[in-house]
Amino acid sequence: MGLILALIIGGIIGWLASIVMRTDAQQGIILNIVVGIVGSLLGSFLLGGFFGADGNIINSPLDVGTLIAAFLGAVILLAIVNLFRRGAVR
């Protein structure tokens, strides 16, 4: 059950991050889920201590700090992808 919840929340976080980074029209539901989950891992690694997140959306209880760190990690991930794809962050 935790994996299904992580996929749903990862999809929502990836979708919101793609709206912020203006890449929503370029990616589908699968890429939104991947961006949300990988962004969660990146955000918990980089920003987890700052927001008080105990882990990522896969293996920790969902609290506000974890969700904020996951969202910011997804935005950072999309910025890095845009940097390599286009040569500049949009």
pLDDT score, position 76: 92
Task: Please state the pTM of the whole predicted model.
Answer: 0.84
Give the whole-angstrom CA distance, residue 24 versus residue 50: 28
The predicted-structure confidence for 19-44, as pLDDT tens digits, reads as follows 998 887 777 888 888 998 898 888 88
pLDDT score, position 1: 46
Q: Work out the mean pLDDT of the chain and round it to a whole number.
A: 82
The predicted-structure confidence for 66-80, as pLDDT tens digits, reads as follows 888 889 999 999 998
The answer to whether 13 touches 70, Cβ cutoff 8 Å, is: yes
Give the whole-angstrom CA distance, residue 40 versus residue 81: 15
Confidence tier at 63 by pLDDT (50, 70, 90): confident
Residue 10's nearest CA partner among 43, 42, 32 is 32
Parent domain of 28: 2-86
Number of domains observed in the structure of the chain: 1
